[in-house]
Amino acid sequence: MDTSDFRNGLSIIVDGDIYTIIEFQHVKPGKGGAFVRSKLKNVRTGAVIEKTWRAGERMDQAILERYPMLFSYEQDGEYYFMDPETYDMVPIPRSKIGDAVKFLKEGLEVTALAHKDEIINIELPFTIEAVVTDTDPGVRGDTASGGSKPATLETGAVIQVPFFINVGDRVKVDTRTGEYLERCKD
């Protein structure tokens, strides 16, 4: 493929690594040849880079397979996921998962990304619900002040929550930013 085939979300191979195109822009200056500016996200590490391509430059497209898996448990730095169709347990090292481990809980359905039958990363759902296991008690009268306090979730993640959240409350969290979204109704 070449730069005229660029689309947001397309995966390509650059310098031996797999990147997803976040955004791109074709530029035709008054002088000189056209080029394409792009922002690429490394699928394995999550790092974002900027790269400029000559118009028509060729590269390999990475074909990524996406399929659901269920998180089961963690043991000795390996995170075990179950394939819901075959019931096979697949170990994935922490290094491939990255910061997403702080939101993993038993039974959570994630999306595995595989390239040539090798799982290279997992994607969490955009939001999860989790129970608050530790936080300072709310102070009467502080409910409308708009402040926040740290709270530890059942997954081990520490997020900022409003003062009215107490231990045992279920909260919805954005897994991309780690931000509190709302308290869940039981």
The better pLDDT of the pair 146, 102 is held by: 102
Can you say whether the dihedral through the CA atoms of 102, 106, 110, 116 is positive or negative?
A: positive
pLDDT of residue 81: 92
**89, 80 contact by CB (below 8 A):** yes
Report, at the CATH architecture level, how domain 3-61 is classified: Roll (2.30)
**pTM higher than 0.75:** no
pLDDT tier at 25, thresholds 50, 70, 90: very high
Torsion of CA 117, 119, 123, 129, to 10 degrees: 110
pLDDT of residue 143: 55
Q: Average of pLDDT values for 76-102? A: 86
Give CATH for domain 65-123. Answer: 2.40.50.140
pLDDT of residue 24: 92
Strand 170-174 with 127-135, pairing: antiparallel
Tokens 């306090």 locate to 149
Please identify, in words, the CATH class of the domain defined by 127-183. Answer: mainly beta
In the chain, where the domains are located:
3-61, 65-123, 127-183
pLDDT of residue 31: 85
**Fold match, 3-61 / 65-123:** no
44-82 in b/e burial notation, b at 16+ Cβ within 10 A?
A: eeeeeeeeebeeeeeeeebebeeeebebbeeeeeebebb
pLDDT of residue 70: 93
